[in-house]
Amino acid sequence: MLKSLTTTLALAIAAGPASVNASGLPYPSRPITFVLPYPAGGASDSLTRAMAEEMGKKLGQPVIVENRPGAAGAIGTNYAAKAPADGYTVLVTLTQSILNNQLLFSKLPYDTRKDLAFISELFTGNVVLVVNQSLPVKNVKELLEYCAQNKGTYGSWGIGSYAHLAGSFLGQSRNLNLTHVPYKGEAPELQDIIGGQLTFAFGSIGGTRPFVAAGKLRALAVSGEQRMKGLPNVPTFAEAGLNGLEFKPNGSVVMMAPIATPAPILARLEQEARAAVDTPPVRARLQTYGLEPLGTDARRARENYDALYPVQERLIKLTGAKLD
- Which pLDDT score, from 0 to 100, does residue 14 have? 37
Whether 6 is covered by a domain: the verdict is no
User: What's the mean pLDDT in 66-78?
Assistant: 93
Q: How many C-beta atoms lie closer than 10 Å to residue 178's C-beta?
A: 18
Phi-psi region of 87 (alpha: psi -120 to 50; beta: other; left: phi over 0): left
Residues 108 and 205 occupy one common structural domain: no
The verdict on residue 205 lying in a domain is yes
The CATH number linked to 68 is 3.40.190.150
Q: What is the structure's pLDDT at 225?
A: 80
Sign (positive/negative) of CA torsion 253, 192, 226, 229?
positive
Q: What is the C-alpha to C-alpha distance for residues 87 and 264, in angstroms, rounded to an integer?
A: 10
Where in the sequence is the domain holding 181, given as residue range(s)? 127-247
Alpha helices (runs of H) in the chain, residue ranges in sequence order: 2-15, 43-59, 74-81, 95, 101-104, 112-115, 140-149, 162-173, 186-194, 205-213, 263-277, 280-289, 298-319
The enclosing domain of 222 has a CATH number of 3.40.190.10
> Side chain identity at 219, as an amino acid letter?
A
- The Cα 250–Cα 252 span in angstroms is 6
Do 104 and 45 belong together in one domain?
yes
Q: What are phi and psi of 305, to 5 degrees?
A: -60, -50
Tell me the pLDDT band of 321, cut-offs 50, 70 and 90.
Answer: confident
Mean pLDDT for the chain?
A: 89
Residue 19, domain member (yes or no): no
Whether residues 132 and 58 fall in one domain: no
Q: Please report the pLDDT score of residue 125 as a whole number.
A: 82
The reply to whether 263 and 114 lie within a common domain is yes
Q: What is the pLDDT of residue 271?
A: 98
pLDDT at position 110 is 96
pLDDT band at 324; cut points 50, 70, 90: confident
Cα 51 to the center of its chain, rounded Å: 14
pLDDT of residue 8: 35
CB 148 within 8 A of CB 176: yes
Round to whole Å and give the CA distance between 290 and 211: 14
Q: Higher-confidence residue: 238 or 72?
A: 238
In a domain, 51, yes or no: yes
Q: Are residues 120 and 257 in the same domain?
A: yes
What pLDDT, on a 0 to 100 scale, did the predictor assign at position 67? 96
Higher pLDDT, 199 or 320: 199
pTM: 0.82
- What integer pLDDT is reported at residue 23 of this predicted model? 56
Helical packing angle, 280-289 and 263-277, nearest 10°: 70
Instruction: Indicate whether 169 and 258 sit together in one domain.
Output: no
- What total of structural domains would you count in the chain? 2
Q: Is 27 left (phi over 0), alpha (psi -120 to 50) or beta?
A: beta
Question: Domain ends where: 247, 267, 301?
Answer: 247
Note whether residue 10 is domain-resident: no
Last residue of a domain, one of 247, 264, 286: 247
Within a domain: 300 = yes
- State mean pLDDT over 128-137: 96
Q: Is the model's pLDDT at 240 over the cut of 80?
A: yes
Q: Which residues of 79-116 are buried (b: 16+ CB within 10 A; e: fewer)?
A: bbbebebbbbbbbbbbbbbbbbbbbbbeebebebeebb
Residue 6 has pLDDT above 60, yes or no: no
Question: Exposure string (b/e) for 36-70, b if CB count within 10 Å is 16 or more?
Answer: bbbeeebbbbebbbbbbbbbbebbebebebebbbe
Angle at 139 between CA 134 and CA 140, to 5 degrees: 115
Q: Does the pLDDT of residue 9 top 60, yes or no?
A: no
Structural domain includes residue 169: yes
Question: Of 274, 102, 281, 127, nearest to 208 (Cα)?
Answer: 127
Same domain, 119 and 256: yes
Distance CA 166, CA 164 (A): 6
Q: Do 36 and 80 fall within a single domain?
A: yes
CA-based end-to-end distance of the chain: 66
Same domain? For 50 and 137 the reply is no
> Where among 213, 247, 281 does a domain terminate?
247
Same domain, 295 and 195: no
218 shares a domain with 167: yes
Q: Which pLDDT belongs to residue 157?
A: 84
In this prediction, residues 312-318 reach a mean pLDDT of 88
Query: Is residue 11 scored above 60 in pLDDT?
Result: no
- Residues 27, 261: Cα–Cα separation, whole Å: 12
Tell me, yes or no, whether 283 lies in a domain. Answer: yes
